[in-house]
């Protein structure tokens, strides 16, 4: 396989990974995402997303460990911004900044799970997997020299 054909496959593979990421990301909203440690009740991804976004406007939440949960709720709107910015090459720097924020907010989510004794379930795992598949194209790689 020539070098030029390998470089042509990379964007196609990235496109397929992103499409798979969108599907996995969306499916995660309908699955159980978390439960309290030792508890039986589970919370779907859509419920978690809604509660965390609504509580953004609650001042008391910002003065507790629950602020980490609020930040996790902003991952979804950031992902919408990221996907919208894919339509322009000029927005690459912006897109990478959004990707970094999403990664930091994911870490904050896991810290919150630890502090609040929450157990991530399949919905959360798929949500993260979908995000990673969507963001994978922003990982800077080596530029291959063009073969002419």
Mind listing the pLDDT tens digit for each residue in 47-101? 999 999 999 999 898 888 899 999 999 999 999 999 999 999 899 999 999 999 9
Confidence of residue 143 (pLDDT cuts 50, 70, 90): low
Confidence of residue 6 (pLDDT cuts 50, 70, 90): very low
Is the per-residue pLDDT at 25 higher than 80? yes
**Does a structural domain hold residue 25?**
yes
CA distance 144 to 11: 13
Most confident of 12-16, 27-31, 89-93: 27-31
Range of the domain at 131: 9-138
Give, in degrees to the nearest 5, the angle at Cα 76 between 15 and 87: 40
**Does a structural domain hold residue 2?**
no
**Does a structural domain hold residue 145?**
no
Cβ–Cβ contacts within 10 Å for residue 121, how many?
18
- For 101, counting Cβ atoms within 10 Å of its Cβ (0-12 exposed, 13-18 middle, 19+ buried), the class is middle
Tokens representing 106 are 């994911």
Span 2-7, mean pLDDT?
44
Span 115-136, mean pLDDT?
96
**Does a structural domain hold residue 111?**
yes
**Does a structural domain hold residue 60?**
yes
Residues in the chain: 148
Does the predicted TM-score (pTM) go above 0.75? Answer: yes
**Does a structural domain hold residue 52?**
yes
**Does a structural domain hold residue 146?**
no
- Number of compact structural domains in the chain: 1
pLDDT of 1: 45
Tokens representing 94 are 């912006």
pLDDT of 2: 45
Helix, strand or coil, per DSSP, at residue 66: coil
**Does a structural domain hold residue 114?**
yes
């Amino acid at each position: 396989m020539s070098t030029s054909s390998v470089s042509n496959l990379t964007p196609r593979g990235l496109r397929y990974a992103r499409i798979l990421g969108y599907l996995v990301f969306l499916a995660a909203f309908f699955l159980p995402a978390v439960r309290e440690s030792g508890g039986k009740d589970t919370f779907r991804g859509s419920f978690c997303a809604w509660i965390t976004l609504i509580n953004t406007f609650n001042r008391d939440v910002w003065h507790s460990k629950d602020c980490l949960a609020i930040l996790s709720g902003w991952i979804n709107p950031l992902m919408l911004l990221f996907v919208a910015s894919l339509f322009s090459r000029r927005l690459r720097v912006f897109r990478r900044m959004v990707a970094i924020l999403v990664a930091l907010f994911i870490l904050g989510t896991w810290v919150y799970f630890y502090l609040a004794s929450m157990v991530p379930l399949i919905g959360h795992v798929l949500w993260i997997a979908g995000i990673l598949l969507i963001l994978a194209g922003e990982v800077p790689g080596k530029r291959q020299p063009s073969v002419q």
